[in-house]
Structure 1
Amino acid sequence: MISLSRPASLGDLVAMHGGTLDAGLDPATVVANVAASDADVRCDLAPVLGDRGAARLSVRALVLLVSEPVAPRVAAGNRWVHPRAEEVLAHLLSHPPDLACALAHDDRADAPDVPEDARIEPNVVLFPGVRIGRRVTIGAGSVVGRPGFRFVGDLRMPHRAGVVIADDVEIGALCTIDAGILAPTTIGRQTKLDAQVHVGHGVVIGARCRLAAQVGLAGSVVIEDDVWIGGQAGIADHCRIGRGARIAAKAGVIGDVPPGETFAGYPAVARSRWLRGHARLYRR
């Protein structure tokens, strides 16, 4: 859940940004925080911006900020319907930027939330909202918690939810791990990232995963426990990689991967199917 830097009444927000309220909503309701639509929490406001949000709605929000195209899929009663709901969300989350903490020589004086038994190598940059577990290693030159790559037109979407790194995680040199928008980007226990891995905003990586060099995870990807991903593989946004799956090097994953499966190629398919296809290709 994200606290807004400038809480306001629902009536004032509608006067400022437009849109329409369901008849049952009280314009005097104060909106002071925002949570993701699939978060099982109580909050003042939650955005429902697309079909995925409407399908996974589990939040207990006083107000739902609903994009006009998906409004028919959301039960009436507490909706604030807006044709540019994502743009409204970006304005609500905007706040004066905080300064990042650059650790040039593992100096914890500027980073009080870093545990004593964590190893932070030279020139690591930690942005506000980064939480680090015990015995974590972060390789030289890595950047953790910078705002992710999400825009509404030319307006950059604020990323306020930070990054959570669990115990015994190792992050290689020159990795980039973006902050989440409404829910944190998370890396589970004992997961290991090689050098130059990119983790997009809102990604969830489970426990004991292995990501080789130059793997790229787009926003909102979910990697379940015990997944291994080969070097230079790319995972498209919102894909889910099932527990124990294997992704071959240089694979391009554009859909969900079932648990325990091995995928290869681009677009990535089951490795056995990919090998049969190559065998037919080279027989020609």
Structure 2
Amino acid sequence: MPDPRFFDSLGPAALSDLARAGAAELADAALADRSIAHAAPLDAADDQAITFFSDAKRKDAAATTRAGACFVRPEHRDFLPATCAALITRTPQAAWAAAVNLLHAPRRHEAAAAAIHPEAELEDGVLLSPGVTIGQGARIGRGTRIGPGVAIGPGVLIGRDGVIGPNAVIGFSLLGDRVTISAGAVLGEAGFGAAPGPRGMVDLPQLGRVVIQDNVTIGANSCVDRGAFADTTIGENTKIDNLVHVAHNVRIGRNCVLAAYTGLSGSTVVGDGVAFGGKAGVADHLNIGSGASIGAAASVFKDVPEGETWTGFPARPLKRWLRETAWLSRMAGGRGTRG
């Protein structure tokens, strides 16, 4: 279930209405009145949830899903268990995205409310600068300083003795104690997810959160996206430079450092004590082992084992990169050719 501090529940909705929203055909018309309360991933859904299935490589997960309903392509219908109602469409993800809008809505600032919402809770000693807005249900701990122009969304939790820099935007997020968010940083905006629909690309709902543990620093104009379903998390004492992007569902361990322009793609898992040089990039769904180092401007397309140093494009172990670079230099200079 999406966190009710950040998402309003609009359900339940009848399967017939969800099918209509997603321009899908309900395979068994007798199930038109089945009630669906929320959206969930294929492998975490219960009988009150609607999900989607579009990748045949996940057919085992489809076969064991407990979902009450699933958007699915015609050729994949038989992968679903008998307990799961099939909604037939050529574009399952896009259909699901349309249906989710009938079940969940992100909570936003109330337009007519005071800048500091009366339902926000601020402990003694919170220091507010001019132009701050704080949404309903937000909670801010003692000794935290909020800079000018900061926007804090509904339900956001900020611990004690933090520092929030000017014009930072924080939504859908839970922050620990002694967290520093520098000027212009954005936490909790929707992660990048899109799917082709009948009329072109559509945005996929992002129903997760951002969780920042104690003593984390996030630099100016950096962005940390909220998860699609699971949380985007940053571990204790990790330090993030300016202009860094952390995508949805990324999990970063403790005591990591990320230099400027680093980009971590969706669902990357980073162990403890990992260092990223400036402009390093990591492809999605990879694992970076604890104690690893990623060189400046490296482009990582494979899992990196614990304790190793990788660099280059594509990134590979440092010693290998040095040997290849030296060989290439000799070949380019003509010193490696034979007469």
Map 1:186-225; keep pairs closer than 5 Å.
Answer: 186-225=233-272
5 Å-filtered alignment, 1:29-178, equals 29-39=34-44, 44-50=49-55, 54=59, 61-63=66-68, 65-68=70-73, 71=76, 74-77=79-82, 78=84, 80=86, 81-94=88-101, 95=105, 98-99=108-109, 110=135, 111-112=138-139, 113-127=157-171, 129-152=172-195, 153-178=200-225
Q: Deviation of residue 105 (structure 1)? A: 5.8
**Structure 1 counterpart SS, 2:12:** strand
Deviations 1:132-186 (A, max 9, x none): 1122111111011112222233322232312111222111111111122222221
Kindly tell me: are residues 216 and 22 of structure 1, through their superposed partners in 2, closer, same or farther at Cα, counting changes over 3 Å?
same
Give the whole-Å Cα distance in 1 for the aligned partners of 2:78 and 2:274.
Answer: 34
> What is the alpha-carbon distance in structure 2 between the residues aligned to residue 233 and residue 188 of structure 1?
19
Amino acid at match of 1:225: D
The corresponding residue for 2:119 is none
Higher mean C-alpha displacement, 133-142 vs 96-105: 96-105
CA root-mean-square deviation:
3.3
Answer yes or no: is 1:17 the counterpart of 2:22.
Answer: yes
Partners of 1:92 and 1:253 lie apart in 2 by 36
Aligned 8 A contact 1:199 1:218 in 2: yes
CA contact (8 A) 2:63 2:81 kept: no
Preserved CA contact (<8 Å) 1:46 1:59:
no
Larger radius of gyration: 2
Q: CA 1:96/1:170 → structure 2, altered by over 3 Å: closer, same or farther? A: closer
Shift of 1:117: 1.9
Give the gaps of 5 or more residues in structure 2: 3-7, 117-127, 140-156, 332-339
> 1:142 corresponds to which letter in structure 2?
A
Contact 1:131 1:164 in 2 (8 A): yes
Q: What amino acid maps onto 2:294 in structure 1?
A: I
Task: Give the count of matched residue pairs.
Answer: 283
Alignment-mate amino acid for residue 35 of structure 1 = A
Residues 170, 193 of structure 1: 8 Å contact kept = yes
Q: Which of 259, 271, 274 pairs up with 2:318? A: 271
CA drift at 1:89: 2.2
Range with bigger deviation, 114-123 or 12-21: 12-21
Q: State the secondary structure of the residue aligned to 1:154.
A: strand
Identity %: 36
Instruction: Specify the SS of the correspondent of 1:282.
Output: helix
Instruction: Sort the Cα spacing of 1:262 and 1:41 in 2 relative to 1 into closer, same or farther, 3 A.
Output: farther
Q: CA deviation at 1:92?
A: 2.7
8 A Cα contact 1:22 1:76, kept in partner = no
Q: Is residue 106–residue 120 contact of structure 1 (8 Å, CA) maintained in 2?
A: no
Would the aligned equivalents of 2:21 and 2:98 in 1 still touch at CA under 8 Å? Answer: no
> Shift of residue 37 of structure 1?
3.3
Q: 1:104 and 1:64, CA in 2 relative to 1: closer, same or farther beyond 3 A?
A: farther
Moved more, 37-46 or 140-149: 37-46
Q: How far off its partner does 1:260 sit?
A: 2.6
Q: For residues 186-218 of structure 1, what are the alpha-carbon distances to aligned partners after superposition, in whole Å with 9 as ceiling and x for unaligned?
A: 112222211111111222222222211110112
Q: Hey, what's the Cα distance between the residues in 1 that align with 2:36 and 2:268? A: 29
8 Å CA contact retained: 2:217, 2:239: yes
